[in-house]
Amino acid sequence: MRPNRLRQLWADNRAAVNGWLAIPNGFSAEVMAHQGWDSLTVDLQHGVIDYQALVPMLQAISTTNTVPVVRVPWLDPAMLMKALDAGAYGVICPMINTREDAQKLVHYTHYAPQGTRSFGPIRANLYGGADYPQHANATIVTFAMIETAQALDNLDEILSVEGLDAIYIGPSDLSLSLGCKPVFDDVDPKAQQAIEHIMARAKAHGVVAGIHNGRADVARARVDLGFRFVTLGSDARLLAAGSQDLLTAMRKA
C-alpha cells in the first residue's frame, strides 16, 4: 500500500505543512498540489465543494506526492466513508465534543474488527494499491477537531480514545466558544491558553496536534510549541492575496 507521508513525517518528529482547498475545481487543486505542500485538505464543511467536485480534486492531487486529506461537514458515517472510499488518506471531522463522538469517528473510519467502516474502496484501491484493505486501518489518519468549550472539558477523555491519530484545532470556533474574537492567529489570551493546554495534553497522550493558521510566523511558532500539522493558506485566500498584491503594485505605479 502507498505509504502515508504524514505518518512518515511524524515518525521523524517533523511538522507537515498543510494547504487548504475551498474552490471546487480539479485544475486549481492540481496547481496547489504541484507547489510542494506536504498535504492538501479539501474542505467539504466550509468550502463550496460537493462530492462530485471532490473526486476530481483528489485525482488531481494524486498526480503528486502531496497527501490528500478531506474535512467532512460533520460526524456523519456516510460522508466519512465516501471520502475514504474516494481516496482520502486523512479525514478531519469537526465538532468532536465528547469521548462518544471520538469513538464514533474512529469506528466509522476503520474496518472491522477495529471499527464499522463499510467495505467498498472504489477509488482508494487505485490510489492506495491492491492491498489497501489489509493496511488501510494503519495508514489512514483520523483527526478530531477540538474547537469548543465542551471539548476542552472532555479533552483527556477524547484523547484517550484508541485509534484516534490526531486532533486539529479550529482557532476561530474555539475562540468563539470561549467568548473571544474569532481569529486564526492573534487570538485572545484565554484562547491562547486553551491552545497551549490542548497541545500539552495531546503530547501527553501521544496524539499528534494540528492547527489552522493564517500567517507563516504564527505557524512556525506553533511548530516550536509542538504542533506537527499546520495549515497555512487556502486556495481562495491565496488567489485574493496575490491579486491584491499585483493591483496594489500597479496602482502605486
> Which residue among the candidates 34, 46, 197, 205 is catalytic per the annotation?
46
Mean pLDDT of 217-245: 97
Question: Quick one: what percent of the chain has pLDDT higher than 90?
Answer: 99
Q: State the Cα angle at 30 between 3 and 216, rounded to 5°.
A: 80
Integer Cα distance of 80 and 117 in angstroms? 9
Q: Is the pLDDT of residue 80 over 90?
A: yes
Annotated domain spans of the chain:
5-252
Q: Is the pLDDT of residue 253 over 90?
A: no
212 is catalytic: no
Among 3.10.310.10, 3.20.20.60, 3.40.50.300, 3.40.50.10420, what is the CATH number of 5-252?
Answer: 3.20.20.60
Q: What residues form DSSP beta bridges with 19?
A: 40
- Report the pLDDT value the prediction gives residue 122, as an integer from 0 to 100: 98
pLDDT tens-digit series, residues 109-163: 999 999 999 999 999 999 999 999 999 999 999 999 999 999 999 999 999 999 9
pLDDT tens-digit series, residues 153-175: 999 999 999 999 999 999 999 99
- Report the pLDDT value the prediction gives residue 149, as an integer from 0 to 100: 97
What does pTM read for this prediction?
Answer: 0.97
- Report the pLDDT value the prediction gives residue 147, as an integer from 0 to 100: 97
Helices (H) and strands (E) in the chain, counts: 13, 8
